[in-house]
Chains A and B, each alone.
Chain A
Amino acid sequence: MVNFDKVTFEYIRRDEEGNVESINKALDGIDLDVKKGDFIAILGANGSGKSTLARHINALLTPTEGTVYIEEMDTKDEDNLLNIRQKTGMVFQNPDNQIIASLVEEDVGFGPENIGIPTKEIWERVAFALEKVGMTAYREKSPNNLSGGQKQRVAIAGILAMKPECIVLDEPTAMLDPKGRREVIETITELNKKEGITIILITHYMTEVVGADKVYVMNGGNVKLSGTPREIFKEVDLLKEYKLDVPQVTEIAHRLRQQGIQLPDCILTVDELVAALGAGICL
């Protein structure tokens, strides 16, 4: 579905005469292969290149070197642009700066309008998309009166209405409260399970990646670690080196293990820790 082949991207800073002042390699030879229907999470601290990576999937940026393929389509080819953007929708961090219309339903209809869907079908798609994210009750409301989590769900609906095969979410929860965060994560998890939509979630909140099929950890423009959440969370020390926070329970389990308490090294939830500790005491 999404394929990165040795992708390098440089932000080039020029002074007033156009001479190169500095080159900042945001991506440095990335290889990535996302299968259809996967739930992928990309973790990384600020400046790790994860947002740059996200913008490559949607052809908002094109690689300096290497190639990005979206279902065999090269993102560098201008003719593929609309096709790629319809297939891979993108949800951004700030909920206010991605809602274009003043009514929820009109905003959801914005994408289908752009790709030339007939009027009748736009309405069907809008109804479907709002239903999927649980925002049907708000269809005639102004986005300004919604909470952050609801706004992000509207943004997701706006993408859904374009019938994408893949949704890229670039830190969709960074500006939300815990409730909004939960709403967004539940919505995308459900879309992945029920609609089979490929999800690429970019975040720096470790707790959000627990449900992912595969996690990539980025640092300095490179993928440093990849694997299932359990495999990733074993590497507590490495993650800390990449300035990421491990979930609280995993950290506690890690420290207890360092103190010599026998515990399995893949604890992700409070329940698992309680069970593991309980078993230990019984022994």
Chain B
Amino acid sequence: MLRDMTIGQYYPVESPIHRLDPRTKFLGTIIYVVSLFLFKTFWGFLLAGGFLVMVTILAHIPPKYVLKGMRPMLFLLLFMMIFNLLLTPGEVIGEWWIFSVTKEGIYAALFMGLRLALLVLGSSLMTYTTTPNKLTSGMESVFGFLKVFKVPVHEMAMMISIALRFIPILLEETNKIMKAQQARGADFESGGPIKRAKALIPILVPLFVSSFRRAGELAEAMEARCYHGGDGRTKMKPLKYHKGDLIAYILLAGLVAGCIFIP
């Protein structure tokens, strides 16, 4: 089950979106996310959704793979939709026990659900099409001005990229530990939610211990390779804007215009 998690993973293919400058993609994602929160009607989502479909097609990523990224969020999504459905006051359509479904509730549930789905899908597209290293340089350069205020921008960017690199490794490790526990009779499947949550403790403890050990070893390996923070560091892949970025910015301007003109 954990192996299928695709969110945050790079999807290595050649495409115009992959070639875009990470700064463009980063700013694009920010504009896209902000636009989702500004739209007040479904028309806005239609625009955002259209934008998402266009990027997915241009990025040569199978739609199935993109949708798989939703899986870990499904529970949260349903949870939020159900609450919105049942707890929004307004014109009552149906009643059951203490809950009542209202017209506004259905609207709110669909609206919020769609917003969250678009949010997750859109932001995961950025990680699908950008290698963590590029993502890091993009973030470093977009937020570079914060260095003036003594914010450790480079260090934070490095931490994020390392975290992303270790996601699959830690997932594999979790699976291994689960199997080892199951082989000795641990039961993760039965019982209520509390019992199941408790069953996770014997997985989390060894996972934590091994992550700390990994972190120590990785730090040592980085130090051995002359890593000493961002000072005096050159880049193998320095950021450069190309023609594609100009087109992307024009399209993004369209999205911004959409934000302003669509109610």
The 0/1 profile, CB within 8 Å of A marked 1, for residues 1-40 of chain B is: 0000000001010000000000000000000000000000
Contacts of B228 in A (CB 8 A): 82, 114
Partner of B234, one of A82, A122, A162: A122
Indicate if the CB atoms of B225 and A103 lie closer than 8 Å. no
Indicate if the CB atoms of A103 and B236 lie closer than 8 Å. no
A92-B217, A92-B220 known; A116 vs B234 contact (CB < 8 Å): yes
The 0/1 profile, CB within 8 Å of A marked 1, for residues 228-263 of chain B is: 100011111110000000000000000000000000
Partner of A119, one of B165, B214, B225, B235: B235
Instruction: Report if B93 contacts A (CB, 8 A).
Output: no
Number of contacting residues on A, CB 8 A? 40
| Residue with the highest number of chain B CB atoms closer than 10 Å, among A85, A99, A102, A109 | A102
Instruction: Report if B146 contacts A (CB, 8 A).
Output: no
Number of contacting residues on B, CB 8 A? 30
Instruction: Report if B122 contacts A (CB, 8 A).
Output: no
Partner of A106, one of B131, B221, B232, B233: B131
Partner of B224, one of A89, A101, A102, A144: A89
Contacts of B217 in A (CB 8 A): 92, 94, 97-98
The 0/1 profile, CB within 8 Å of A marked 1, for residues 105-125 of chain B is: 000000000000000000000
Once bound together, how far apart are the Cα atoms of A111 and B228, in whole Å? Answer: 11
Indicate if the CB atoms of B224 and A90 lie closer than 8 Å. yes
Once bound together, how far apart are the Cα atoms of A119 and B132, in whole Å? Answer: 19
Instruction: Report if A53 contacts B (CB, 8 A).
Output: no
Contacts of A113 in B (CB 8 A): 233-236
Instruction: Report if A117 contacts B (CB, 8 A).
Output: yes
Once bound together, how far apart are the Cα atoms of A117 and B218, in whole Å? Answer: 22
Instruction: Report if B52 contacts A (CB, 8 A).
Output: no
User: Beyond A103-B131, A110-B222: 7 further Cβ-contacts under 8 Å?
Assistant: A89-B225, A102-B133, A112-B236, A115-B226, A119-B236, A126-B236, A144-B168
